[in-house]
Amino acid sequence: MIKIYLYQKSQKVLIPTIAQTSQGFFIEIDPLQIYAVSQVETWQRLVAKRFMHSPAVVETPDEAQEPGSAILEALELNSWSEFEKEATLFTLHQGARYTTIYATGHGDDGMWSAQKMTERKFASKAPLDIVLEALIKDIITHPGAIKEPPKALLLGPPR
């Protein structure tokens, strides 16, 4: 199973590294990559590369460990709720039957809402370039994502 998170905030795309814990859940680990939304070709290559490999398996963190956040540190924010109100999480998930793109929506309080979430499903054998084209379009057309969209949504095959 593959899971990739992409956060879109203030004309930036933030892509954390994802690992799967020994207990089977997914966590974000370093490094965190940050790109301008308009750098489509660059972050598209990173997503394609990560899509080809299962995440690393790491020990499940001890409950006593402070969770820290590379995202909050990089953006110099004080709280996750501050980030959540200004960002959208896009999740690219490949399961056995489907590859799905999820996008968080915001509720009346500005926080992410499961009821406002959207999803796009593709057959698990759908060509990666088709899935990435849909993901890129979702991100660059999201409100506030970019001042001027790139001239091409998909700039050639992923390398």
| Full-model pTM | 0.85
On whether the CB atoms of residues 10 and 144 are closer than 8 A, the answer is: yes
- Per-residue pLDDT, 63: 67
Calculate helix-pair angle for 40-51, 128-140, nearest 10 degrees. 140
- For the chain, what are the domain ranges? 2-140
CA distance 67 to 155: 37
H/E stretch holding 47 reads helix 40-51
Q: Which amino acid is at 46?
A: L
Fold annotation for 2-140? NMB0488-like fold (3.40.1590)
Structure-token match 């859940």, residue found: 25
Per-residue pLDDT 10s for the chain (159 aa) are 899 999 999 899 999 999 888 898 888 888 999 999 999 999 999 999 999 998 888 888 876 555 567 888 888 888 889 999 999 999 999 999 999 999 998 999 999 998 999 999 999 999 999 999 999 999 998 876 656 555 555 555 555
- Per-residue pLDDT, 10: 87
- Per-residue pLDDT, 74: 87
- Per-residue pLDDT, 72: 86
Candidates 5, 154, 141; CA nearest to 70 is 5
- Per-residue pLDDT, 104: 92
Pairing of strands 88-94, 56-58: unpaired
